[in-house]
Structure 1
Amino acid sequence: MNTVIAFIFMFGLLVFIHELGHLIFAKRAGMLAREFAIGFGPKIFSYRKDETLYTVRLLPIGGYVRVAGEDPEIIELKPGHHIGLEFNDFGDVNKIIVNNKSNYPNAKIVEVEQVDLDHELKIDCYELDTDEHHQYSVDRKALFVMDDKETLIAPYDRQFGSKSVGQKGIQVFAGPAMNFLLAIAIFIGLGFLQGVPVDEALIGGVQEDSPAEQAELMEGDEVVSINGQSIETWMDFVMYVQERPDEQLDVTVERDGELLSKSITPESFTEQGETIGRLGVMRMFEDSPGDVILYGFTQTYDITVLIINALGQLVTGQLSLDALAGPVGIYSATDDVVQTGFLNFLMWTAMLSINLGIINLLPLPALDGGRLMFIGLEAIRGKPVDPQKEGVVHFIGFALLMLLMIVVTWNDIERLFM
């Protein structure tokens, strides 16, 4: 049950932060954000505030912010359509009833001749009862009513396509950027909770009844060399010891400016099916505010580089698709991490947040990187790509991504039962 709660919290946080970036900058640019969704598929929960519908959906495979103009409008009025109109106190249309008009007895029923809800905000029509021609102004916040559900109209200046290249680019980039900021914040929080690991091979603690205690190693000792080989960093120290279980080591440490020699035999320890050596020492941590804040940025940078390198190996064939994990694989890995403690779970969440930001910036259709690519083409050409052609590319890209998700998820399931 702890893993289920942790996974739901983690998934919800990562998607919420990502989509919040899109939402904030859509609203700052004056775009009409119709929906803020976590998940895809059928709605589990929905809540409307002001212009935006906030939803939680069934399938935990992402989320989206639906901005007016990014997709074709759901409701399109054409000449000959019979609609109902309701008016505000100034005589402007504030409701356009598309169907179920009998449920609105105060509505004026008209036949559409011409309509412009993008620029002029006008409806030319004939009143059915008198056959009189009218032209009505439409309120900027008028509502479509279809199947008794209300949807705001979207004048052109509220649509995605009306904004500058810069505004569109920032709105799209804001999602991945928020994932990187979340990772930085988590690592800073971890730094304040547990301190920042130092790079030097400094011993921060010694476990009882361990080989290190038997050799009288102490907190604050700095490992200088092992078997005559110089040790520069903590990772040099760890790797050297792990590769030599049950092998006697001549360890030189510096204590209060004095060099001391110790003979230590690492005990054998099995981890993920591999036998490694372990001395029973802990890493030194520091907690100065400056170091902690810097740690948030450097740790995010280091993991970003690590993930980008892994993606490069995937592209060049050095890694196979089997190395990828979908929701099932991530859930399984989360289960393992949860068992090791809350702080490790936070670090796992930060790593996944960075991964989500990087993946979304790949120049692939249907991802934020693909959308940024089209915005870049618009900047170069001086005009946007045909929205219909761009929509087809994104649709095909989304379909291929869903296919990849199915393949990866199937691999995850197979691994669980191997």
Structure 2
Amino acid sequence: MNTVIAIIIILGALVFFHELGHLLLAKRAGILCREFAIGFGPKIYAFKKGETTYTIRLLPLGGFVRMAGEDPEGIELQPGYRVGLIFNEQGAVQKMVVNHKEKYDLQKVITIESADLEHKLELTGYETEDGERLTFNVDPKAIYVADHQEMQIAPYDRQFRSKTLTQRTLAIFAGPFMNIILAVVILIGYFLVSGVPTEEAKLGDLTPKGAAIQSHLQKGDRVLSVNDQKVSKWSELVSIIKENPGEELMFNVERDGKELKLPVTPGERKIEGKGTKEGFIGAYEATEFSVVESIKQGANQTWFMTKMIFKGLGELITGKQGFKQLSGPVGIYEYTNQAAAGGIPMLLRWAAALSINLAIFNLLPLPALDGGRLLFLGIEALRRKPVDPQKEGIVHFIGFALLMLLMLVVTWNDIHKFFLDKN
């Protein structure tokens, strides 16, 4: 149950900040954002603030910001429609009711001759067949009502497609960028909680029953040499230990101003994917608590994790790593379970890694992802005209279907990796 709660909190936060990036930059550009959603599928909670409806949906596998003009609007006032009108104080049309008109206190009912809800913001029609031709101005925030569902109209200048290439690019890129910023903040929190590594050859926390504690090493011991080989950095100490699995090593350590010599025999563990072994003693690097260093380390670790993810992607592309290395929802559950067992610091580190993964995955130039949309914007910049929206929509639809297929494949891989192959 703790793992489920941890996943809900972590994924919820990652998706929330990702979509928040889209929302903030879209609103800044003046785009009408109809919905801010966490999850997909049926709504389980919704409220409206300003022009935007905020929803939580049943399937917690992502989220979206529905911007006006990205998809067909679903607002149609065709000639011949009989429409009820309600006006604002300035005499402009504030509400247009298509059906169930008896439920509303209407001020006029007209038969539409023409309607321009994007540019001129005008309605033209007749109250009766023989009546006078009437033209009405439409409020830029007028509401269209059909089947008791209300939708605010989107004049052209409030639509995604009306904005400059730079504004649209920033609105799309802001989602992944927010995930990178979130990772930095999480890792700063991680180092504030767990401390910043000192890089000295000094022992921090020791694991129970590890070789270090069994050899009477203590937290705070400074390692001066191993087998008479001088050691000054933690990386040097780790290197020697890894190279000598199962071999007795003589540690010369400083403790409380005194030097001690202690024999230590590193344990052995297999190196995943290589079939060889490395040594370990069950000791962590000593840490110090510093706000400034935590900020530096948060940024440095984000950069390091980003490079490692790109390295992994490169190995997938070149074939050095197979697709069995990819993980989906089942893998995320298992890894979150392992991180939760390590306490809050490990969970923070895992959340940061997930946030960076989400950012990079979304920036891949694949249809239906932010990277795919940015690719189309890049093509538009080169052609100096946008790609046909209908064609782009078809490409994104096919891309989404392929992504769902990939999700099924990696989920099957996870089931084998964590359950079937272990039996």
TM-score relative to the length of structure 2: 0.90
Structure 2 counterpart of 1:413: 415
Deviation at 1:356, TM superposition (A): 0.4
Percentage identity across aligned positions?
A: 52
2:202 maps to 1:202: yes
Structure 1 counterpart of 2:360: 358
Q: Is the 8 A contact 1:177 1:357 kept in 2?
A: yes
Amino acid at match of 2:170: I
Q: Deviations over 1:34-73 (max 9, x none)?
A: 0000011111111111100111111121100000011111
Deviation at 1:355, TM superposition (A): 0.5
Amino acid at match of 1:332: E
Cα distance change of structure 1 residues 117 and 232 upon mapping to structure 2, 3 Å threshold: farther
Q: Give unpaired runs (5+ residues) of structure 2.
A: none
Structure 2 counterpart of 1:394: 396
Aligned mates of 2:113, 2:209 — CA distance in 1? 89
Cα distance change of structure 1 residues 75 and 229 upon mapping to structure 2, 3 Å threshold: farther
Deviation at 1:255, TM superposition (A): 7.5
Aligned mates of 1:72, 1:173 — CA distance in 2? 22
Q: Is the 8 A contact 2:199 2:285 kept in 1?
A: no
Amino acid at match of 1:292: S
Aligned mates of 1:128, 1:416 — CA distance in 2? 71
Cα distance change of structure 1 residues 155 and 234 upon mapping to structure 2, 3 Å threshold: same
Aligned mates of 1:230, 1:64 — CA distance in 2? 56
Amino acid at match of 1:140: P
Amino acid at match of 1:394: H
2:161 maps to 1:161: yes
Structure 1 counterpart of 2:18: 18
Cα distance change of structure 1 residues 235 and 98 upon mapping to structure 2, 3 Å threshold: farther
Amino acid at match of 1:344: M
Structure 1 range deviating more: 324-333 or 290-299: 324-333
Structure 1 counterpart of 2:323: 321
Aligned mates of 1:209, 1:325 — CA distance in 2? 32
Aligned mates of 2:144, 2:19 — CA distance in 1? 26
Cα distance change of structure 1 residues 254 and 69 upon mapping to structure 2, 3 Å threshold: same
Aligned mates of 1:389, 1:36 — CA distance in 2? 25
Q: Deviations over 1:134-153 (max 9, x none)?
A: 11110011001111111100
| Counterpart secondary structure, 2:70 | coil
Structure 1 counterpart of 2:118: 118
Structure 1 range deviating more: 298-307 or 249-258: 249-258
Amino acid at match of 2:102: S
Aligned mates of 1:210, 1:106 — CA distance in 2? 79
2:265 maps to 1:265: yes
Deviation at 1:91, TM superposition (A): 1.8
Amino acid at match of 1:87: F
Structure 2 counterpart of 1:330: 332
Q: Is the 8 A contact 1:109 1:128 kept in 2?
A: no
Q: Give unpaired runs (5+ residues) of structure 1.
A: none
| Counterpart secondary structure, 1:106 | coil
Q: Deviations over 1:126-172 (max 9, x none)?
A: 22364431111100110011111111000111111111111111111
Cα distance change of structure 1 residues 120 and 8 upon mapping to structure 2, 3 Å threshold: same
Q: CA RMSD in A?
A: 2.8
Cα distance change of structure 1 residues 207 and 32 upon mapping to structure 2, 3 Å threshold: closer
2:49 maps to 1:79: no
Aligned mates of 1:171, 1:183 — CA distance in 2? 20
Structure 1 range deviating more: 83-92 or 265-274: 265-274
Deviation at 1:226, TM superposition (A): 4.2
Structure 1 range deviating more: 68-77 or 305-314: 68-77
Deviation at 1:243, TM superposition (A): 5.5
Structure 1 counterpart of 2:341: 339
Structure 1 counterpart of 2:137: 137
Amino acid at match of 1:397: G
Deviation at 1:228, TM superposition (A): 6.7
Structure 1 range deviating more: 316-325 or 340-349: 316-325
Q: Is the 8 A contact 2:188 2:298 kept in 1?
A: yes
Q: Is the 8 A contact 1:101 1:107 kept in 2?
A: no
| Counterpart secondary structure, 1:71 | coil
| Counterpart secondary structure, 1:417 | helix
2:3 maps to 1:7: no
| Counterpart secondary structure, 2:199 | coil
